[in-house]
Amino acid sequence: MTSPVDPNEVRLTGENSFIRLLDKQGGTQVGRASHWRILYSPAGPGHALYVHSKNLTKGAVRIYSDNLALARWLQEELESMIYPTFADQNIPVVDAVFAASGDGMSHWTESVESAPDSITLTWSELGESFLVRSGPGERPNRPLGIYSCFTPARKAQISINGQTAEGHAYPDKFGDRASSTACLAWGESWTRPRR
């Protein structure tokens, strides 16, 4: 009988909801946000937001966090693999307070409050959730394994200080599933082979 226990080492558990805004279906990315809520990691618990937008940040990456060590660890361990643009450790980390709201069925909002910026990420017109699971090395360019519950959003918005980022979420495929370029990603754990 197969063991119910994954033999790999857990690196983190938490959430990593994301938004990718495009100028048209299959078009160019004009905005991107990666929002982490971490319960367990080697750098402790906390939140981090990596974001850039063509019109709101002139393409520059901004990083907000309530745990600087976690923000740097996520860059090194995960963002360098997922989206290297977010992995530059020379980008300063802005202290921020994080909160979530919404019913999780129709919409969800993550709020990030810092001294210079007030940011909201909103996912709406939520679709059916599905469970992503793949072991270390099973997907191209993914030496780590992942378990995550994705909920695709038909609509998503990034706002900074009341200004809305240009671009829209569009349908996307994940494996054989209809998904979106903007998803809530809850119940997420990353694994790697034991050393």
Nearest-CA neighbor of 171 among 183, 179, 162, 163? 179
> Distance between CA 102 and CA 110 in Å, rounded?
9
154 touches other proteins (CB under 8 A): no
- Whole-number minimum distance, CB 88 to other proteins, in Å? 27
Q: Which amino acid is at 155?
A: K
5 touches other proteins (CB under 8 A): yes
DSSP assignment of 47-96 equals: EEEEEEETTTSTT--EEEES-HHHHHHHIIIIIHHH-GGGG-TTSPEEEE
- Whole-number minimum distance, CB 10 to other proteins, in Å? 4
103 touches other proteins (CB under 8 A): yes
130 touches other proteins (CB under 8 A): yes
> Distance between CA 102 and CA 133 in Å, rounded?
26
Stretch that binds other proteins, among 6-14, 68-76, 84-92, 158-166 (CB under 8 A): 6-14
In the complex, the residues that contact other proteins under the rule CB under 8 A are: 3-6, 8-10, 13-14, 39-40, 44-45, 103-105, 128-134, 138-140, 146-147, 149, 151, 174-177, 186-189, 191
